Structure 1
């Protein structure tokens, strides 16, 4: 039962849980980037989701009648297209900062899709925040480190589009808890991802056989810590607090990913990336705070 509305927000232990979630998600960018040096992106995603499927298959429940088409659509958008393209983007990127920040553009995209498809209205402040976020992507895109591999930014933005579509579709799901949703997303996504890997990643199985503990460890970390731990704790928090109260804190994840990129990946972001990143994350924060002011549900799908 949600009771955080009376408690005035997150405090103490719950703030510590948010920090654990954000650290787990931020580290996932770093461990996955190292793993993707050994395992191709679509195959890496398939391995990650296979591990997750094996862990959760015992706990998933069949969705109510009539929910299968929407659940399959959510799985294909989030599990196959978002994950697959985002890991491809991370594989091609020369840094961690730009993919971590660009992925957050799914929030303004989801707000626009909800307005277009669901008729949800938003005020001028939210509209301004959406514009600031998209302008930030443009500024970020002209940073030299991003221009070295512009296809990486394009892939992450396309990935964010599918994540936004999946987020909007999730709002219509009923009778499917978070564990079942994660489990079915993994189960449904594995075969399409293996097919994509077979078509677009020649030599994929040889790469998997040759992968060291870094590649396999990255996949295990991604499944166990980013998915099961991160989203498990998130599920605990949204049982105690409205989702809109939790969402703004989750922006710590891309910020921590930027720090990890600076310390462990050798990132050297230029001023355009800093300014564009601040615009993107600032716009997302405003959207989250406006949702909090109205207590409008903001669902947070799977991070990469």
Structure 2
């Protein structure tokens, strides 16, 4: 992978780490499903009138939109609203790395190496430590929802890879038309019809800025660039760059939100991060040792 593509992957990861702060600020003012719908309304409009629809089957376009927009972010926004810290959430959702590698094996025959398997085991052990700690504090549901969001992210990555070498910005923009309707319907059912006018009446400039950042920077730039990279390189080569997401997420959560984590969460986070490092650097170390 050329250095410019490596830097692009790192830039996307940093943007996504910072987006967890935007999520926290957003759900403080707007119901989570409504917030997710607004994210995709503004990601699609007016861009859909400026970007040509990609040459992909409709089912793939809809599948990508449902997996990323409804599944990943609908679940993640609810998890943050229910108490998942922004920094910790940015780490746990990186299980998508391993879900993506597994799905790439199932659908594309990309066989994971020893580093991916060992790294997955170490990371899952870390999630287990966090889960036990959260179970004692009755905060297991946000953790489970974040893990489910990671599964949906893996499904979305798989759909993006299946699309092949098409206009990935077009894929992101046109798939952004999919999530708003189911999300708005779900918000009406769960939050009531008064949620929309209440949010629009009381939203602050910080909330507006959070939606703008999530729509244009995290979604259009972030997912457009990420899907573009996945269309050109193996999933096992691209997705590990997501390990930079929790670095930015935890650092910004501590600096901007004053978040602190418990000792078991620190231990579990270290194991997850170690698993990601094994996944990234294990093959390179093996090649050097063999040489």
Shorter-chain TM-score above 0.5 = yes
Question: Is 1:283 aligned to 2:247, yes or no?
Answer: no
Q: 1:130 to 1:14 in 2, by over 3 A?
A: closer
Aligned partners of 1:284 and 1:278: how far apart in 2?
10
Say if 1:289 and 1:264 are closer, same or farther in 2 by CA, change over 3 A: same
Q: Give the C-alpha shift of residue 232 in structure 1.
A: 5.6
Change (3 A) 1:63 1:260: closer
Pick which of 205-214 and 190-199 moved more. 205-214
| Change over 3 Å in CA distance of 1:78–1:240 after alignment to 2 | closer
Number of residue pairs the alignment of both structures matches: 284
Tell me the TM-score normalized by structure 1. Answer: 0.81
C-alpha distance after superposition, 1:112-143 (max 9, x if no partner): 23334444322333211111111111112233
Structure 2 counterpart of 1:95: 85
Q: Which runs of 5+ in 2 are unaligned?
A: 286-291
Q: Residues 238 and 176 of structure 1: is their aligned pair in 2 closer, same or farther, counting only changes over 3 Å?
A: closer
Match of 1:273 in 2: 265
**Gapped runs of 5+ residues in structure 1?**
5-9, 294-304
Could you tell me whether the CA contact under 8 Å between 1:59 and 1:179 is conserved in 2?
Answer: no
Indicate whether 1:73 and 2:29 are aligned. no
Structure 2 match to 1:252: 244
Equivalent position of 1:30 in the other structure: 21
CA 1:238–1:135 in 2, change beyond 3 Å: closer, same or farther?
A: closer
Q: TM-score scaled by structure 2?
A: 0.84
Determine whether 1:228 maps to 2:220: yes
Paired with 2:116 and 2:15, the residues of 1 have a C-alpha distance of: 29
Q: Please report the RMSD computed on the Cα atoms of aligned residues, expressed in angstroms.
A: 3.1
Aligned residues of 1:28 and 1:226 also touching (Cα < 8 A) = yes
Q: Quote the offset at 1:281 in angstroms.
A: 2.5
Deviation at 1:53, TM superposition (A): 0.3
| TM-superposition CA deviations, 1:238-278 (whole Å, max 9, x none) | 89998866654442221111011122222221222122112
Q: Given the superposition, is the C-alpha separation of residues 245 and 68 from structure 1 closer, same or farther in structure 2, using an over 3 Å criterion?
A: same
| Alignment partner, residue 56 of structure 1 | 47
Residue 51 to residue 107, structure 1, CA distance change in 2 (3 Å): same
